[in-house]
Amino acid sequence: MDNPNLNDMLSKLHNELNQTEPTEKTQAVVTDLKSQLQPILAEPDADHSPHYQTLGERLNLALVDLDVDHPRLSAAIRTVLDELAAVGI
């Protein structure tokens, strides 16, 4: 699935993750999300459809941990989740 808008949103989320200074409580979540995004961003033209479902689930779980301490990051996650929903994931 080639979706430039989704790729753009994932790139913005990755940038936001890199700019976030996680707390001790959120460090593991931020690190996990970075590792999930890395292979997708490394090969933006590849078909990552099978991974998007898992990514969506992890993003939803991450919102619970990040919402209070990192509102900008939470907003970026919601944008990606909206885009995933728009493409049927």
**Could you tell me the pTM of the whole model?**
0.89
Strand, coil or helix: what is 45?
coil
Cβ contacts of 44 within 8 Å, gap of 6 or more = 7
Question: Phi and psi of 69, rounded to 5°?
Answer: -80, -25
Residues 74 and 68: their CA atoms lie apart, in Å, by 9
Rounded mean pLDDT, 22-30: 94
Which residue shows structure tokens 């990552």?
48
> Which pair of tokens denotes residue 66?
């990040």
Average pLDDT in the chain:
91
Tell me: pLDDT of 34 over 60.
yes
What is d(CA 79, CA 14) in angstroms, rounded to the nearest whole number? Answer: 12
Whole-number pLDDT of residue 2: 60
pLDDT score, position 26: 94
